[in-house]
Structure 1
Amino acid sequence: MGRLRVGTLILIRWIAIGGQAVAILTVRFGMGFELPVVACFAAILASAISNGWLAKRRAPRARLGDREAALVLGLDLLQLSVLLFLTGGLHNPFAVLILAPVTVSATILSRNATAALVAMAIACASVLGLWHLPLPWDPPGGFFHPLIYVLGLWTGLSVAAVFVSAYVWSVAEEARSMSEAFAATRQALGREQRFAAVGGLAAAAAHELGSPLATIAVVAGELSRTVPPDSEFAEDVQLLISQSNRCRDILAELSRRPSEMDGMPFEHTPLSALIEEAADPHKSDRENIELDIELDPKDESPQPAIVRSPEILLAVGTLIQNAMQFANAKVEVTIAWSVNEAEISILDDGPGFSHDVLMTLGEPYVSSRRNEEGHMGLGVFIAQTLLERTGASISFGNDEGAEVVIRWPRAMLEAIERNDSGD
């Protein structure tokens, strides 16, 4: 949960303290109403002292924990209640300010802290509705509001405290979830882009090391023919030959490996090869699940050739992994294309998406941990975000199981450029 910065809290409290002082002075000396000024300023002074103590003890950039911030806001709520007690209770027009600490808590603090402050605000409003000093402009004999009016004031404040806190907390929580999801997206994409960069460097290194390694192999071969078999160096020469051959095989494998390209950062590859690479890590996720990748050309146009996009790799891999987890026996990945469009369909034979899940899929409303309904979570949100960055549209549905369909305008797909900067 969010943590409240000390400097922000101190500033808010100084503004509240200044406003309270101005209001008391205006009512007493500007409007001429009698007020218990000494008692009021004692409450204001107590708040000012606590704020000064907080400013001295904690650096402005420091952040208060959930419990500490809730304690400070609770003290502010008590101090405000004391002022309202001295100036008419719920009859005071400023009684609505009881909602201020609750709203601040709902914006930043946890649900439990906010619930505690809501309960405290309702308790304070209850006390102020029953016991308080009279309004400063009440007639000498006293002016008493009907009980139903006081009950209405109390009900209004209580309902407002609950509603405002719940609404503000839900909006703030959604904003926090979106922020965390985008951070996870950037982290996952950056990791895949670093892997791609390392792969390119490995392929380039394999290419550059090929020539000197070939020279070493030639020299070692010549030595093996000139050194007698019974020489003390014969075994070393054979070791040199075997190790150079091993290095040659390793470098050849690095150069061949499609997941690490072949030293050309912008070389294009068929779309099916990219999808094969995305699916490979998940083929062994569940040994009893069959993963089929099929090609389905819609016309005579050639298969789209694109650069190795980390966004597509990570997103399609996540969706295939999701399908593998919930399939009963089989996952089908179909790659279709035409002269105008490219499409990837991922279909599993599992229980499919429930109606409620379909309504909210693609939103970061669930943690990365999947619940019993499955097919949902932060991973789907990340996948959708990454695919939309490449110009794709993604749809979810059911067709004898859960189906995810990804579509690109072909020109946009083939125009994707590699981005290893991590942006």
Structure 2
Amino acid sequence: MTDWAALRRTARATLIDAARCLGAAKPVGFGEADDHDGGRQNLLLLVQLRWIAVAGQVMTIAVAQAGLGIALPLWPMAMVLIGLVLLNVASVGRLARGGGVTEGVLFVALLLDVVALTVQLYLSGGATNPFTSLFLLQLTLAAVLLSSRATIALVALTTASLGLLLLAYRPLVLPGGEDELFRLYLVGMLVGFVIDAALIAVFVTRISRNLRRQDARLADLRQRAAEEDHIVRMGLLASGAAHELGTPLSSLSVILGDWRRMPDLTASPEIAREIEEMQEAVGRCKAIVTGILLAAGAARGEAPHLTSVRTFVDELVGDWRRMRSCFCLQVRDEFGEDEEIVSDTALKQVLFNVLDNALDMSPSFVELHVRRDGDTLRLSVTDRGPGFAPEMLARLGQPYTSSKGRLGGGLGLFLVVNVVRKLGGTVEARNRSYGGAVVTISLPLSGLTV
């Protein structure tokens, strides 16, 4: 009956998680959540850069007007600065509302920055202003953030703006004449280069880090989708196997019933006892198959009932001991004040799988440690077996990663990791320095409590 018990544990966990994948969890498209998050981070960087630009322009205008005696059209230039401030306020409001930030939003933001810089340069010497090099900053950001088509559009706009500044601009009137203009131009080129280099280095580095983080999340989503597809296929296979097993089990039950009525067989007490045991075994197998078929359509949250952490653990331990005919399990309760939760069948099956793995490796000792860490429920299963191989720890939660050498093995922890992840938790495994292994399941109580 050991094989039937293993089939039951694996199939039930498979079907429960498959049902959760199909019905209980809201799917997220590969790029949906992560694109929005990356776009929000990039828009926030543009907002920060715009604040720096506003502060820098105010400082530059003050130095030119008061320090160098250069007459500037303060009111028109102040209106441009106010427009940049309002643009930032609108961008911050969009971020606060939690909406997604698309490439079009980033393009418009960079486009308005180019227009504002063009107007400021028009009012302060046009192409003779050394700060025309700041156009390169906008183009660098566009090349990093936008598609090639949008980048080309911004390059064309920037080139047209610079060409316009060569033909039409408000000339600067300097107290020292042309010689002073040339000297200030050289100094301005140096300052503009330093500003460009510093801002490009800082902001492009941060944007690249955002993009790498987004790519990593997309890769993780693809991996999760592949694992969930694997679980769904396993659930379908288990359900099909249960249907196929129903007929031969019914036939065996009928045959054993006939044997129990045959005088030649029942005359021997030993044979009668074996027939009785076989009848009980077939009955258990039929109950297992029925449970698999019922679990195939039972998503989490269907017919839930209230319980508490301690009651849940006590029932789980009692059921596991009774089903495994094993009393080597020790329970260490350090949870503290009990708390009401919703009983979750998937979580119970997860713990069954972890306890079964520990029992296989350590038949004489298994410990379940229950504790609370802030708003987190931690359930640790400890054994005194040989521990995990390094390659297993590196691939924890991936299918068919097993040290038992069985064909098709390694699905237990794969199912455990995926079910716990659906509940918002994490699974960690480590080897103890003095022998054995510990598997810790961490679950947010907010996801289990009423």
* Shorter-normalised TM range: 0.3 to 0.5
The answer to which structure, 1 or 2, has the higher relative contact order (CA under 8 A, 6+ apart) is: 2
Going by fraction, where is helix more abundant, 1 or 2?
Answer: 2
> Normalising by the residue count of structure 1, what TM-score does the alignment of the two structures yield?
0.42
